[in-house]
Amino acid sequence: MFELFKTFFQIGFFTIGGGYAMIPLIERKVVDEKAWVNEKELLDLIAVAQSCPGIFAVNLSIFIGHKRKGNWGALVSAIGTCLPSFLCILAIALVFQPFRENVWVEHFFRGIRPAVVALIAIPVFRMAKSAKINRYNVWIPIAAAFLIWMLGVSPIFVVLAAGVSGYVYGKYLKEDFTDPL
């Protein structure tokens, strides 16, 4: 149990940029180092964590913790993931107010934005590779992003439509359009 807490506390403490930025560290810790899940299981857990309400990183830690140690593992993993953020926000709230208008602090936060984007982009490309995104199906994530971003369609409807489409495709079409790029 302590190993679950310690692992997710480290992941939560050393990751800047939110849940998606945590994916490379989660992958390294729970797939490569600990072998708690394999790459395919992690990809499936990421898909489920994204479609569940709540904080993505916490959802993912709950699923991994539950897989390892049941309900108590889920709880311990969730606490380990949330506690570093809580402590950091508490510390910032206590000392940040006098520095809020400081131009250096403002530039610092503006400067880390591109790094956070890169931290999010890396797992997206890895997940695309693991999900076997190729020239035949690359239109699916592009269409989903377009529907959500440009047309304002609720992500819930996009996820439901993708799930139904995947079921119909797997059940009735079953053609294999794999194309190694």
The 10 Å CB-count burial string (b at 16+, else e) for 118-130 is ebbeebeebbeeb
Both 124 and 137 in one domain: the answer is: no
Over residues 14-71, the pLDDT tens digits come to 766 667 777 888 888 888 888 898 888 888 888 888 888 888 888 888 999 998 889 9
Both 136 and 124 in one domain: the answer is: no
How far is Cα 72 from Cα 166, in angstroms, rounded to an integer?
Answer: 33
Chain-centroid distance of CA 126 in Å reads 12
**pLDDT value of position 178:** 52
Percentage above 70 pLDDT, the chain: 92
Over residues 58-86, the pLDDT tens digits come to 888 899 999 888 999 999 999 998 898 88
For the chain, give the mean pLDDT: 82
Its domain, for residue 179, covers: 132-181
Both 45 and 117 in one domain: the answer is: yes
Query: What type of residue is 32?
Result: D
Q: Decide if 126 contacts 27 (C-beta within 8 A).
A: yes
Q: Decide if 9 contacts 57 (C-beta within 8 A).
A: no
Both 52 and 136 in one domain: the answer is: no
Both 124 and 138 in one domain: the answer is: no
Both 120 and 34 in one domain: the answer is: yes
